[in-house]
Amino acid sequence: DAGVTQSPTHLIKTRGQQVTLRCSPKSGHDTVSWYQQALGQGPQFIFQYYEEEERQRGNFPDRFSGHQFPNYSSELNVNALLLGDSALYLCASSLKVAVEQETQYFGPGTRLLVL
Amino acid sequence: AQKITQTQPGMFVQEKEAVTLDCTYDTSDPSYGLFWYKQPSSGEMIFLIYQGSYDQQNATEGRYSLNFQKARKSANLVISASQLGDSAMYFCAMREGHNNDMRFGAGTRLTVKP
C-alpha cells in the first residue's frame, strides 16, 4: 500500500521564478492538503483540495495556487518566488469524513530553496 | 491567535524511561480532534495518535498514549519505554469541527540518551 508521495524531493530556484510541486495521495484517499514548514517552525496550512476544488485556504497570497486531478493527485504552484518561500512543503492526504476526525497522512516533503 | 502551545522546545529522556510531551490548545468549538505527529530529521511527518473531543477514554497506540484533560484543554503525549529511534521533533495539532485547517504547535525536540 503506497503512502503519500511527493516530487521532487529537493528544488533550487531563483527569485521571481515559478515552481510546481506534485503530490500523489495514499491509496483510497480523496483529499489533499498542502503545508509550508519554515525552518524551526510547525507546518502552516496553505490549502486543501477535495473533489477537484479548493475547499479552504490558509493565510497565503494568491501567488500560491493549486490543482487537484480526477485521480486525486495534486499540484502546488508558486509564482514570483521570494526568498521567504524557502521551506519544506508537505503534502498530506486523507479520506473526507467528519472534519475533526479526519487523519492526515503526510508525504516526505519537497525542500525548496530560493536564491 | 495561537491555538496550540507546546512549551517545551527540547526534552531529554534516558532510554527505556517514559517521557511526557506537553500540549495545550484553545478552541470554543465543542467538536475537535487532537493529533500528534513525529518528524525525524528526514522531514516526513509520521502520524502517531488521535483523540476526539467526545472520546471518553484516553487514546493509546502501542507505546504512545494521550493524556487528555478536556477541562484543562491539554493533550499531553506519553511515550513509554523510550527508544533511541524516538529521537525526533514531535508536533501537537488540532482540527476544529468547522475547519479543514489543521493547526500545529511549534514542536518539541525529543532526544533519547543511551
Which residue of chain B is at minimal alpha-carbon distance from A94?
B100
pLDDT of A69: 97
- Give Cβ neighbours of residue A62 (< 8 Å, ≥ 6 apart): none
CA A78-A83-A85 angle, to 5 degrees, is 40
Contact yes or no for B101 and A45 at CB 8 A: yes
Q: How many CA atoms, within 13 angstroms, populate the side-chain half-sphere of residue A37?
A: 27
Predicted confidence (pLDDT) at residue B1 exceeds the cutoff of 60? no
Residue A65 pairs with which residues in a beta bridge?
Answer: A77
- Residues of A with CB below 8 A from B45's CB? 43, 90, 92, 106
Average pLDDT of every residue of chain A: 94
Predicted confidence (pLDDT) at residue A96 exceeds the cutoff of 90? no
Burial A81-111 (b: 16+ CB within 10 A, else e): beeebbbbbbbbbbeeeebbbbebbbbbbbb
Predicted confidence (pLDDT) at residue A101 exceeds the cutoff of 80? no
- Residues of B with CB below 8 A from A109's CB? 43-44
Contact yes or no for B52 and A101 at CB 8 A: yes
Q: Which residue has the cell 467526545?
A: B54
Residues A90, A5, A3, A66: is their CA dihedral positive or negative? Answer: positive
pLDDT of A100: 63
Average pLDDT over residues A52-69: 95
Q: Which of B102, B77, B84, B82 is nearest to B8 (CA)?
A: B77
Read off the pLDDT of residues A16-53 as tens digits, 9 standing for 90 and up.
999 999 999 999 999 999 999 999 999 999 999 999 99
User: From the CA of B107, how many Å to the nearest CA of chain A?
Assistant: 6
What are the residues of chain B with a beta carbon less than 8 Å away from any beta carbon of chain A?
4, 31-33, 35, 37, 42-47, 50, 52-53, 91, 93, 95-107
% of chain B surpassing 90 pLDDT:
87
Read off the pLDDT of residues A9-26 as tens digits, 9 standing for 90 and up.
999 999 999 999 999 999
Predicted confidence (pLDDT) at residue A1 exceeds the cutoff of 80? no
pLDDT of A2: 77
Per DSSP, A9 falls in state: S
Per DSSP, B86 falls in state: G
Read off the pLDDT of residues B7-64 as tens digits, 9 standing for 90 and up.
999 999 999 999 999 999 999 999 999 999 999 998 889 999 999 999 989 999 999 9
Q: How many residues does chain B have?
A: 114
pLDDT class of B101 with cuts at 50, 70, 90: confident
pLDDT class of A98 with cuts at 50, 70, 90: low
- Residues of A with CB below 8 A from B7's CB? none
> Nearest CB to B31: which of A92, A100, A104?
A100
Which residue of chain A is at minimal alpha-carbon distance from B30?
A100
A111: its cell numbers: 525542500
Local structure of A15: helix, strand or coil: coil
> Nearest CB to A43: which of B46, B53, B104?
B104
